[in-house]
Amino acid sequence: MIKLYAEHTPGEDRTALTRNDILTEFYIHRQGAPDGYGDLHWARVISLVPAMAGAFLALADTDAFLPDTAGAKDLTEGDHLAVRITRAAQGGKGPRVTARLTDAERGCAAPGPVRLLRRGPSPLEELRAIHPTAELHTGTLPEPLASEIEALGSPAIALPGGMTGSVTPTAALTAIDLDSAAATAERAPKLTAQFARNAASLPELARQIRLRNLSGAVLIDFSGLPARRRAALSAGLEAELAGDRVGPRLMGFTALGFAEILRPRLRPPLHEVLRGPHAAGLAALRRAQAEAASAPGRRLVLRAPPSVIGALEADPGALADAARAMTHRLVLRSDPALPGLSWIIEDERG
């Protein structure tokens, strides 16, 4: 049975999908900073880039890349056209778009200045369209689902048989290192036991890749196996990846024995969504809302670095959400002395 869970917190919608009560997909959608996936734009060609087999376009709020295979061929600089974002922006690079549109999408286009024509679906809207008969549960996420989602913010992955995994994103790829140090008491021959543990980790490993929405190149360093033995895990890994609707592919194993997975990037991976001043500010609003709910008479102050306070002030919708849920207005106080993106919720004094 498929169930959808939708929780609204200040500035964020959190959407979870479960199959037979097992969490399989999770997304955060921010109204004040949507990821842009699926947005329809009226765009202008800035430059043709034959070396990259495509063109750069100006959108309403950023630049985007249109490959020749998606409609850039035969365009000229200055042309206007309607495009849809097919891959969210990543690591300083703008989004990728396509000009291959449906009749309905082309019907939204009209000559005029560069502009946003229509927002794409939110993750909840997208999943409801894919699973129209799924049960929908709104409100606060239930336990233990909420705790499992909270754990996705950590790079650590708990795997069967005492194995652990560590997720390390880089600009070029995401590395997942498996470790079996805690599972060394078995009496079976070492290679047999190591292979069995790695094989047993595959279902949870594939699920974590989906939950964290890891995308682009994903390299897995399996534990305790020589490179020549790791290829025997291919069939099991491919079988687990086949359940992912995004369509990841196992590209093979490197000479060093790393499994190479290519998972298409559509929406940003969770580790990108959870970092930065805006994410820190929204986390602080959630905490403030929870503390205000437990003691409605309290007058609270959020003390945070200027970057966090500035990100919240740039998202009036999130502040309005928090204000509606609290008896007294939350006071924002910029404190340059606080390190990094740390923040403090405290009582207002006198």
Amino acid at residue number 247: G
Please indicate, yes or no, whether residues 60 and 104 belong to a single structural domain of this protein.
yes
148 found inside a domain: no
Q: How is residue 268 annotated by DSSP?
A: P
Its pTM stands at 0.92
Q: What is the pLDDT of residue 336?
A: 97
Please indicate, yes or no, whether residues 165 and 136 belong to a single structural domain of this protein.
no
Q: Please, what is the Cα angle at 332 between 327 and 333, to 5 degrees?
A: 140
Count of structural domains within the chain: 4
Dihedral Cα 75, 76, 78, 83, nearest 10 deg = 10
Q: Each residue of 281-300: pLDDT tens digit? A: 999 999 999 999 999 889 99
Q: What is the pLDDT of residue 349?
A: 81
147 found inside a domain: no
pLDDT averages per 10-residue partition of the chain, 350 residues:
97 98 98 95 98 97 97 96 95 91 92 96 98 97 96 96 94 95 57 92 98 97 93 97 97 96 96 97 96 92 98 97 94 97 90
236 found inside a domain: yes
Please indicate, yes or no, whether residues 263 and 281 belong to a single structural domain of this protein.
no
Q: Give the domain extent around 296.
A: 274-347
